[in-house]
Every structure is written in C-alpha cells, then in structure tokens.
Amino acid sequence: MKDSFGREINYLRISVTDRCDLRCRYCMPAEGIDLIPMKDVLTFEEITQVAAIAVEKGVNKIRLTGGEPLVRRGIAKLVGMLSKISGVNDLAMTTNAISLSKHADDLAAAGLNRVNISLDTLRPDAFKHITRGGDIRKVFEGIAAARSAGLTPIKLNCVVSQSSSEPDAREVNKYGQENNLEVRFIKQMNFAEGSFAVVEGGQGGDCPRCNRLRLSSDGLIRPCLFSDLGFSTRELGPSQAIERALAEKPESGGKCSHNWMRAVGG
Ligand code: SAM
C-alpha cells in the first residue's frame, strides 16, 4: 500500500502493552505514566485481526514492541496467532531482554523469527542507573537464550546522547562485533521538541523512506512516531483506521504533545 506521498508502506509495529519492567530515564518520567486501563488494551484476537487486514493491504513485516512485549501475559500465544497469517515474511520483536531467557524457546516455537535487544551500556552500574534498577546480567542471559533458540540475527539497539563515538556506545559496538550481533545506534529523541535523527545502522528516522505504521496497545493506528495523529481501530474498524492513517501520514515527523516513547509504543 502507498501513502499520499507515494511511500510504500509494508511494515507494522505493534505495541502489545504500555507496561514495562524497566523505567528507562529517556523513556518514562520518574513518576511513571498513567497506565492504559486493561479494558482499552486490544485483545490478541483484535491485534491479529488488525494485523491480518494490514497484511491483506500490503504489510509483510511485523514487529512486536511495547512497553515491554514480554510482560504481556501469553505473548507466545499472540506470536503463534500472528505467525499463521500468510504473507508475513518477517516477524520480529524489540525487547529489553530482561525476561527473554524464560520466553525465548516458546517464542521461537510459536514462529518468532528474530529479536532486537536494547542495550545502551555494558557497565552494570550505568545500566542500573539508566533503567532505574535493571540487572544487566539478565540481558546477557536473554541474548544467550535468543541465540540458542535461533531468534537470529540478533540486533542490539543502543541509545546514545549524541553519537556512536561515546565511550558506552563504543563498548557496545565492540561487544557486538565480538559476539556477532549487529548494533544500531539511536540518537536520543525528544518527542515534544520533534528532535530525531536517522538511526545509524538501521532504517528509522528517515522520513522519505519511512515504510511504517504503528498499532498502539489501545488500538490506534499511528502513522508517525512524531505526531499525535491516531485512528481508532475499534471505532473506525481496522480497514478504515489503516486507510485514514495512510492518507494522513505526514511527509515528515513533527512534534508530539508528550515526550515519552512509552506513550506511543516503540
Ligand atoms: N521495552 C522494549 C525495549 O526496551 O526494547 C521495547 C520498547 S522501547 C520503547 C523501544 C526502543 O525505544 C528501545 O530500544 C529504547 O531504547 C528506545 N527508546 C525509548 N525512548 C527513546 C528516546 N527518547 N530516544 C531514543 N530511543 C528511545
């Protein structure tokens, strides 16, 4: 499917929950964010229905994200439902990997192809600080489990303040090279100010080549990470919500009324 600027849209990022087991400083305010009431969170059946309609319209790549997708109870069941939609060539997940060692085998068996894992530093104390309490050892266990389950290629998402030449980013890059993990550097974004950059080593942030739509955990099709636009799949129905998002997808990112990735769904 094409948007009004002729961009081919074939990628749907699905936020399965706004809940997370970490509290990364750049992703969530210290006081937290009001959680979406569970009645407003799409069921697995609803998510699968939206995904199937998106695939009929031309999506062939799906990524599960959040919040933290692994905290959504029964996530492997959802993966199984999505992997049965014919026409999905790439079913991936972005995760902080804190509980990946428990889930990797089930996810792979359900049809997940691969994972991207967020890792901004190799220093345990710095990791604990950035995530407000996270244990980096669990991430390394998660990486090992993903590898042995065959959720490959494993990519690392590393958020940097300014550039990939910062000491923590260089360490993560070296670790990636030594362990056959592709590293992508994401410059810390400010949603309220509309500041974002092209992801180094990845595809995000490049508006002329943007191929994405997002589905938020409360059922909005969001055409752009840097816009408040969202079209309700429950109110409009999935097909019309997708068509409206396509028609109104901005040519390039602007600003949001909030400054938290977690509010949109990464
Ligand atoms: N919980 C999962 C994780 O940590 O990968 C998935 C959701 S998280 C919102 C997705 C990605 O967005 C992570 O790689 C995270 O580091 C990144 N992220 C969150 N806030 C950001 C910001 N303000 N600027 C740049 N990247 C951000």
Evaluate whether 69 touches 94 at the Cβ level (below 8 Å).
yes
- The whole-number pLDDT of residue 202 equals 86
Q: Distance, CA 261 to ligand 1 centroid (Å)?
A: 7
d(Cα 207, Cα 21) in Å, to the nearest integer?
31
Atom of ligand 1 nearest to the CA of 262: 9
Which residue has the CA at smallest separation from atom 20 of ligand 1? 27
Query: Over pLDDT 90: what percentage of the chain?
Result: 88
Ligand 1 in reach of 223 Cβ (< 6 A) = no
d(Cα 256, Cα 241) in Å, to the nearest integer?
20
pLDDT digits (tens, 9 = 90+) for 126-140: 999 999 999 999 999
Q: What is the CA radius of gyration of the chain?
A: 17
- The whole-number pLDDT of residue 93 equals 98
Q: Distance, CA 260 to ligand 1 centroid (Å)?
A: 9
Atom of ligand 1 nearest to the CA of 26: 23
Ligand 1 in reach of 68 Cβ (< 6 A) = yes
Ligand 1 in reach of 160 Cβ (< 6 A) = no
Q: Is the pTM of this model over 0.95?
A: yes
Low-confidence ranges of the chain (pLDDT < 50): none
Ligand 1 in reach of 66 Cβ (< 6 A) = yes
Ligand 1 in reach of 18 Cβ (< 6 A) = no
Look up residue 35 and give its amino acid.
L
Q: Distance, CA 27 to ligand 1 centroid (Å)?
A: 6
Ligand 1 in reach of 121 Cβ (< 6 A) = no
Mutate to test the pocket of ligand 1, among 116, 118, 127 (most ligand atoms within 8 A of CB): 118
> What are the C-alpha distances in Å from 2 to residues 9, 54, 88, 251?
6, 12, 18, 13
Question: What are the backbone angles phi and psi of residue 116, rounded to the nearest 5°?
Answer: -110, 135
The pairing of strands 90-95 and 114-118 is: parallel
Which residue has the CA at smallest separation from atom 5 of ligand 1? 95
Which residue has the CA at smallest separation from atom 11 of ligand 1? 266
* Structure tokens belonging to residue 25: 């400083």
Ligand 1 in reach of 131 Cβ (< 6 A) = no
Ligand 1 in reach of 259 Cβ (< 6 A) = no
Measured on CA atoms in the order 182, 147, 78, 20, is the torsion positive or negative? Answer: negative
Atom of ligand 1 nearest to the CA of 66: 7
> What are the C-alpha distances in Å from 149 to residues 27, 66, 103?
29, 22, 10
- The whole-number pLDDT of residue 265 equals 74
DSSP letter (8 states) at residue 62: E
